Amino acid sequence: MRFSESFTSTQVIQHKLARLSHKELFQEKQGKWSVIKHLYHCWMVERGVLAYIKLKTQDSTAMVSVSVTTRFKFAFFFATLRLGVLKINAPAVVQKFPLEMSIADLMSKWDATRKQADAFFLDFPDDDAKKGIFRHVFIGRLDKKLTQQFIRLHLSHHLRLCQL
């Protein structure tokens, strides 16, 4: 299975965006992000997660196991986020948007990031995939499977916020 297989595809996202006007894509409402900012943020998160994993997995002896506590924190985090009990501000690094944004450019970059992730994980060792390859600031160390779930749930959360 490809790393990004369970994520909402960029083609599906583009199809949903095709129904929106330019104003609907770029308009911020009540100080909230526009649709394109939400999507740009999601791409930056995927790109950042991949960069982190590429860096941190260079030395497999430095990777740690994922604790049972982390699995509970993961479930609790997304349940409370889904229920609206929890509001998390994104780290500054994934909130820096370019002055000029286009859907075509964003989708091209997003496709490229997903292809890189799929290629990187193609021959990724199973033993390493079960270790904490990514560190979420609130949840802790996530293995490959939890990282995939994080990306999928994070994207779904933002698509819901955009009503896509």
Q: Comparing C-alpha atoms, which of 88, 84, 2 is closest to residue 45?
A: 88
Q: What is the pLDDT of residues 147-159, one digit of tens each?
A: 999 999 999 999 9
Token look-up 């998390």 returns 88
pTM for this predicted structure = 0.93
Q: What is the pLDDT of residues 86-144, one digit of tens each?
A: 788 888 888 889 989 999 999 999 999 999 999 999 999 999 999 999 999 999 999 99
Superfamily of domain 10-161: dinb family like domain (1.20.120.450)
Q: What is the largest CA-CA distance in the chain?
A: 50
Enumerate residues 6+ apart whose C-beta is below 8 A from 27: 34
What whole-number distance in Å separates Cα of residue 71 and Cα of residue 78?
11
Domain boundaries, the chain: 10-161
Q: How confident is the model at residue 57 (pLDDT cuts 50, 70, 90)?
A: very high
Alpha helices in 57-125 (DSSP H): 68-83, 103-122
